[in-house]
A and B are shown apart, each in its own frame.
Chain A
């Protein structure tokens, strides 16, 4: 094959949205239409930024910021943008399956591409940015630190994740994605069976973003180990920090297997190595092991921070100290360790000995024990609590019922004999959506509702948010619970069509369910819009709208750049709750000092561009561009290392002025009771009725 020295194997014909003009069909219309939609959305964003003159503020205040809170918010925005695409793909797939008796509206290849991008996007570019966003925003605030341990590296991690997401978005418009699922199993994704660019898009999106996640893990772990405020001992940390610490360790140690698996696959595809090929001694079981050595801990990378969020909101919205803090911490650590011991359950049917299967089956079932501990801890916390059924608690209710169901189906799957029966059926699809949606997505949405006021200074509208929460719960149940039945009836997953008419009513039902999920997502987007419009009435500048318990609520909202005017000294587990219960919250600092923070830097953005260009160039065999961008990455870092870190100093007087103004406003405020919590009387100064605190 002759490739252009300038454009590699990229040709004009690879521009996917143009395909519909060459070869019109419903399938092409959906594929090209999605491409056009993405292009229009991108053009729309650029136009809006230009029209409202937002490029300057975007660059100065966001893209170059090293502030962990802003980086966390940018992670969340990335997650939402990618979720829009992921949800749309899910609806299209369900729509296709509703029509798929003996065919369907989409071509089988197109369907395969859809479930591959849907899985890759939802795991790596929705769930991962969401949990990373929460950890970025919350960890330093909860442990009483001014920032992460490595603010610049934090920015670089975000850049790497964004670059991977960009590659995925580009794959819709230029060329196409792979068809081997989110796990991209070779040899099917090897050069022999998929010579095109699809698997290469996957490889570089994964390698680039995986490296970012590994760096994030190191950053979070070091932040929690080394940056805690004086007196913040490990057993005084909020539970979210515990889950974040365990997640950070998992990130640092479970991301390398993914990167290694993807790079070995790249060696197979680009240089004709034989790690996973069918011939010359290749062994694809090595891939299954490497991938799931990442893939299983990944499940807990996603769910542990969600557990942390649920723990925080359970205590806050039932106005009780979390029951069984120590057992919750121990359960978290148990889960983190055990998550590394179960990966083979993802391929029970691929020819392991019975002994191996039994060992991994038992290890898998054992994880239910610490998970059960957590469930009981939350229940015991709710027991006799003064519960307010606000949005986060609605999500918690949905989570507790549905997640237990998902966990129980996991126990069923952990039994190798049953696993043989339902392996690779829709039962699996039902199971993992049943844990990831109520687990991770509900926690994210509940967490956003809880901490949004902290980040932006105003609450989210309660009414539409409640509607969204209920739509999520009902929509999830309608879409995925029937799939357990379909799976037991033997309908294989990833199958683009079926011949047995018994499946059709189920498929139509779940397609309608997916429309409810679409409505839930749209409603949540609408919540942001109406809340922004109504932000004056919803403002909570005093910073504590929910009668919070942990350190982050003892700051103004939005939190100033430096987090704390004076680094607090911690003496108890829930310092803010204890201060409020004893009647002495908001202690005035005796003296203020100048605060030094890292100055804005473009390094993260430059590396994001370099990494994204590198991935694109490698995918399309544009070797000169790949070489330049690859060399540019270390060059930027080395050159920068010759210059001192630029810092900005916030003068003590400014800190004093802002803090005193905030404290005076609190003194003047009368506070709100629980009954008025959702009215505009709530300015962020909750009148506490906390009596007991640890």
Chain B
């Protein structure tokens, strides 16, 4: 199953054999990879800016005052769990072709993602209450924009998951829908990887 003929494009393939649809997925999936690499550059630049602004607190709240490791542990757990459940959705798509099961796992993924965003927003509200707003210092501007950019990506991902569940029911498991699910999966796992970077570079480093 893993030779070039059955696994043309990078990523989980759509099913046992798909002929031409397979070839089409090859192009769009590759294109999506290039997009993700471009997006990674964007995140990298926000990371770099954050790193250079580490000390630019201008007398305002610094890393030790704004990092709530308990909440971060919760967010990490939810997001990592959501990547697992998206994996279940992908497996259901490849081996079972069962729309109900795929939609169910996608729903769980979206819920876990929403839990992540909710915890993040709660942290942001708390930060605003103690005066750690982005307007306070360069450090906080960089913090809010890096973490916020990731949160925005996750929120958009949740909307996309909703759209895809709708498409599964309205359009059926066509190869276009499958190919889109494949790309959404790449997107979702990509956000997980970025989160690992944020968790280590922003929060753990801030708590030390």
Residues of A within 8 A of B140 (CB): 274
Give the complex CA separation of A271 and B133 in angstroms.
11
Give the complex CA separation of A222 and B52 in angstroms.
34
Q: Does B42 contact A (CB under 8 A)?
A: yes
Q: Quick one: given A221-B34, A253-B37, are A273 and B134 in contact (CB under 8 Å)?
A: yes
The answer on a CB contact under 8 Å between B45 and A273 is: no
Q: Chain B's nearest CB lies how many Å from the CB of A284?
A: 11
The answer on a CB contact under 8 Å between A149 and B31 is: yes
Residues of A within 8 A of B37 (CB): 252-253
Interface set, chain A 274-293, CB cutoff 8 A to B: 274-275, 277, 279-283, 286, 290, 293
Residues of B within 8 A of A221 (CB): 34
Q: Does A597 contact B (CB under 8 A)?
A: no
Give the complex CA separation of A218 and B41 in angstroms.
14
Residue-wise interface mask of B (35-56) relative to A, using a CB-CB cutoff of 8 A (1 in contact, 0 not): 1011101100110010011001
Q: Does B135 contact A (CB under 8 A)?
A: yes
Stretch of B82-90, B100-108, B163-171 at the chain-chain interface: B163-171
Give the complex CA separation of A116 and B171 in angstroms.
50
The answer on a CB contact under 8 Å between B38 and A252 is: yes
Q: Does B80 contact A (CB under 8 A)?
A: no
Residues of A within 8 A of B41 (CB): 253, 256-257
Residues of A within 8 A of B60 (CB): 280
Q: Does A160 contact B (CB under 8 A)?
A: no
Among B35, B45, B134, B167, which residue has its beta carbon within 8 angstroms of that of A257? B45
Give the complex CA separation of A432 and B170 in angstroms.
56
* Interface of chain B, main secondary structure: helix
The answer on a CB contact under 8 Å between B141 and A226 is: no
The answer on a CB contact under 8 Å between A281 and B139 is: yes
Give the complex CA separation of A274 and B53 in angstroms.
10
Residues of A within 8 A of B180 (CB): 641
The answer on a CB contact under 8 Å between B38 and A260 is: no
Residue-wise interface mask of A (192-232) relative to B, using a CB-CB cutoff of 8 A (1 in contact, 0 not): 00000000000000000000001001110110011100000
Residue-wise interface mask of B (135-168) relative to A, using a CB-CB cutoff of 8 A (1 in contact, 0 not): 1111111101100000000000000000100110
The answer on a CB contact under 8 Å between A260 and B46 is: yes
Among A222, A264, A277, A290, which residue has its beta carbon within 8 angstroms of that of B31? A222
Q: Quick one: given A274-B138, A642-B170, are A264 and B145 in contact (CB under 8 Å)?
A: yes
The answer on a CB contact under 8 Å between A280 and B49 is: no
Q: Does A452 contact B (CB under 8 A)?
A: no
Residues of A within 8 A of B31 (CB): 149-150, 218-219, 222
Q: Does A638 contact B (CB under 8 A)?
A: yes
Q: Does A259 contact B (CB under 8 A)?
A: yes
Q: Does B27 contact A (CB under 8 A)?
A: yes
Q: Does B26 contact A (CB under 8 A)?
A: yes
Residue-wise interface mask of A (236-259) relative to B, using a CB-CB cutoff of 8 A (1 in contact, 0 not): 000000000000000011011101
* Interface of chain A, main secondary structure: helix
Q: Chain B's nearest CB lies how many Å from the CB of A636?
A: 13
Interface size counted on chain B using CB atoms at 8 A: 39
Q: Chain B's nearest CB lies how many Å from the CB of A173?
A: 33
Give the complex CA separation of A222 and B75 in angstroms.
35
Contact-residue size bin, chain A (C-beta under 8 Å from the other chain): 35 or more
Q: Does A14 contact B (CB under 8 A)?
A: no
The answer on a CB contact under 8 Å between B27 and A226 is: yes
Residues of B within 8 A of A149 (CB): 27, 31
The answer on a CB contact under 8 Å between B49 and A290 is: yes
Give the complex CA separation of A283 and B38 in angstroms.
25
Residues of A within 8 A of B27 (CB): 149, 222, 226-227
The answer on a CB contact under 8 Å between A283 and B138 is: yes
Give the complex CA separation of A646 and B175 in angstroms.
16
Residues of B within 8 A of A259 (CB): 42
Residue-wise interface mask of A (428-444) relative to B, using a CB-CB cutoff of 8 A (1 in contact, 0 not): 00000000000000000
Give the complex CA separation of A279 and B135 in angstroms.
11
Q: Quick one: given A256-B41, A281-B53, A641-B167, are A222 and B138 in contact (CB under 8 Å)?
A: no
Residue-wise interface mask of B (5-39) relative to A, using a CB-CB cutoff of 8 A (1 in contact, 0 not): 00000000000000000000011101100110111
Give the complex CA separation of A252 and B36 in angstroms.
10
Q: Chain B's nearest CB lies how many Å from the CB of A393?
A: 37
Residues of B within 8 A of A282 (CB): 56, 138, 141
Q: Chain B's nearest CB lies how many Å from the CB of A114?
A: 31
Among B30, B58, B171, which residue has its beta carbon within 8 angstroms of that of A281? B58
Nearest CB to that of A215 among chain B residues? B35
Residues of B within 8 A of A638 (CB): 163
Give the complex CA separation of A149 and B25 in angstroms.
12
Q: Chain B's nearest CB lies how many Å from the CB of A206?
A: 15
Give the complex CA separation of A19 and B136 in angstroms.
40
Interface set, chain A 380-429, CB cutoff 8 A to B: none
The answer on a CB contact under 8 Å between B163 and A280 is: no
Give the complex CA separation of A652 and B22 in angstroms.
25
Q: Chain B's nearest CB lies how many Å from the CB of A274?
A: 4
Residue among B45, B137, B171 with most chain A CB within 10 A: B45
The answer on a CB contact under 8 Å between A281 and B145 is: no
The answer on a CB contact under 8 Å between A225 and B138 is: no
Residues of B within 8 A of A256 (CB): 38-39, 41-42, 45
The answer on a CB contact under 8 Å between A275 and B38 is: no
Q: Quick one: given A226-B26, A252-B37, are A281 and B42 in contact (CB under 8 Å)?
A: no
Q: Chain A's nearest CB lies how many Å from the CB of B187?
A: 14
Q: Quick one: given A149-B27, A264-B49, are A218 and B145 in contact (CB under 8 Å)?
A: no
Q: Does A54 contact B (CB under 8 A)?
A: no
Nearest CB to that of B55 among chain A residues? A281
Among A273, A275, A281, which residue has its beta carbon within 8 angstroms of that of B57? A281
Q: Does A502 contact B (CB under 8 A)?
A: no
Residues of B within 8 A of A593 (CB): none
The answer on a CB contact under 8 Å between A275 and B141 is: yes
Residue among B57, B141, B171 with most chain A CB within 10 A: B141
Residue among A217, A219, A256 with most chain B CB within 10 A: A256
Residues of B within 8 A of A222 (CB): 27, 30-31, 34
Among B39, B42, B52, B135, which residue has its beta carbon within 8 angstroms of that of A273? B135
Q: Quick one: given A260-B45, A281-B57, are A267 and B141 in contact (CB under 8 Å)?
A: yes
Among A150, A271, A275, A280, which residue has its beta carbon within 8 angstroms of that of B58? A280
Residues of B within 8 A of A654 (CB): none
Q: Quick one: given A260-B45, A273-B134, A274-B135, are A267 and B35 in contact (CB under 8 Å)?
A: no
Nearest CB to that of A643 among chain B residues? B171
Q: Does A676 contact B (CB under 8 A)?
A: no
Q: List 5 A-B contacts (CB under 8 A).
A: A221-B34, A275-B141, A281-B53, A281-B58, A642-B167
Residue ranges of B at the interface with A (Cβ–Cβ < 8 Å): 26-28, 30-31, 34-35, 37-39, 41-42, 45-46, 49, 52-53, 56-58, 60, 134-142, 144-145, 163, 166-167, 170-171, 176, 180
| Minimum-distance CB pairs A-B, first 4 | A281-B138, A281-B56, A273-B141, A281-B58
Residue ranges of A at the interface with B (Cβ–Cβ < 8 Å): 149-150, 214, 217-219, 221-222, 225-227, 252-253, 255-257, 259-260, 264, 267-268, 271-275, 277, 279-283, 286, 290, 293, 638, 641-642, 644
Other than A149-B31, A273-B134, A641-B163, give 15 A-B pairs with Cβ distance below 8 A. Answer: A149-B27, A214-B38, A218-B38, A219-B31, A222-B27, A226-B26, A255-B38, A272-B135, A274-B135, A274-B140, A280-B136, A281-B53, A282-B141, A638-B163, A642-B170
